[in-house]
Amino acid sequence: MASYNKFNIFVQAVTNKGIDCTNDTFKVGLTNTLPTATIVTYSAVNLTELSTAGGYTQGGATATVSSNGQTSGTDTFVLTNVTWTATSAGIGPFQYVFLYDSTPSTNNMIAWWNYGSALTLSNGSTFTVQFNGGATTGTVFTMT
């Protein structure tokens, strides 16, 4: 299981209405360079993101909001899983998956996951980001 890490800007962006967890578009991307918690906005340069090739498109893939709801004072944010399938050129290497809000012009960063070692996908291989291990959707975070 990949380890979750939060970008510092995330909490401030939520409390300042810079991230709308119900209506915004969320993107998941790949990098082989360790992100730092101080990155504020999405940029392929800031993250040394993989280039468009082999079944991966720079800027990432959309993770649809499955649910965002509150029960007894705890909000749970759930996204659909994202899958890439490598074509002839392959995808990688990458070790980190990052999540950002692509709706506001600020493209606020949310979190990244460390998969522990570099992965490379060969032609026809797939990689699925399973948030919190969910089969088709998974909890990205809870706030209390």
Q: How many residues does the chain have?
A: 144
Residues 1-40 pLDDT 10s: 688 999 999 989 988 888 999 999 999 999 999 999 999 9
Q: What phi and psi values does residue 30 have, to the nearest 5 degrees?
A: -125, 140
Whole-angstrom Cα distance, residue 50 to residue 52?
A: 7
Residue with tokens 């998969």: 115
- AA identity, residue 68: N
Residues 59-70 pLDDT 10s: 999 999 999 999
Q: What phi and psi values does residue 90 have, to the nearest 5 degrees?
A: 80, 170
Q: Are 110 and 63 spatial neighbours (Cβ–Cβ below 8 Å)? A: no
Q: What is the mean pLDDT of residues 125-140?
A: 94
Q: Identify any residues that bridge with 82 across adjacent strands, giving them in sequence order.
A: 129
Residues 94-109 pLDDT 10s: 999 999 999 988 899 9
Q: What is the mean pLDDT of residues 78-101?
A: 97
Q: In this predicted structure, what is the pLDDT of residue 1?
A: 61
The SS3 of residue 9 is helix
Q: Record the pTM.
A: 0.94
The full set of domain ranges for the chain reads 3-143
